[in-house]
Structure 1
Amino acid sequence: MTTEFTKDITGAVVDSLKGTADPRLRELLSALTRHLHDFVRETGPTTEEWERAIGFLTATGQTCTDTRQEFILLSDVLGVSMLVETLGGHRAPGATESTVLGPFHMTESPVRALGADIDLVGAGEPCAVSGRVLSSDGTPLPGAVLDVWQADAEGYYDVQRPDIQPPGNGRGLFTADAEGRFWFRTCVPSPYPIPTDGPVGDLLRATGRHPYRPAHIHFIASAEGHASVTTHIFVAGSPYLDSDAVFAVKESLVADFAETDDRSLAGEFGIPNPFRHARFDLVLEPR
Structure 2
Amino acid sequence: MPAVITNEMVFAALPPRPPESHKGAYGRVLAVCGCPAYRGAAALSVLGALRAGAGVVTLAAGESVIQSIAARVLEATFLPLPDESALASMAETATVCLAGCGREADETTAREMKLLLERTRGTVVLDAGGLCSLAAEKQAMRPAAGRLIVTPHPGEMARLAHTSVQQVLAAPAETALAMAKQLDAVVVLKGHRTLTATPAGRLYENRTGNAGLARGGSGDVLAGMIAGLAAQGLAPAQAAVCGVYLHGLAADRCAARLSQQGMLPEDILVDLCALYLENGR
Q: Which has the higher strand share?
A: 1
If the TM-score is normalised by the length of the shorter chain, which range does it land in?
under 0.3
The normalised TM-score by structure 1 is 0.24
Larger radius of gyration: 1
The normalised TM-score by structure 2 is 0.24
Q: Which has the higher helix share?
A: 2
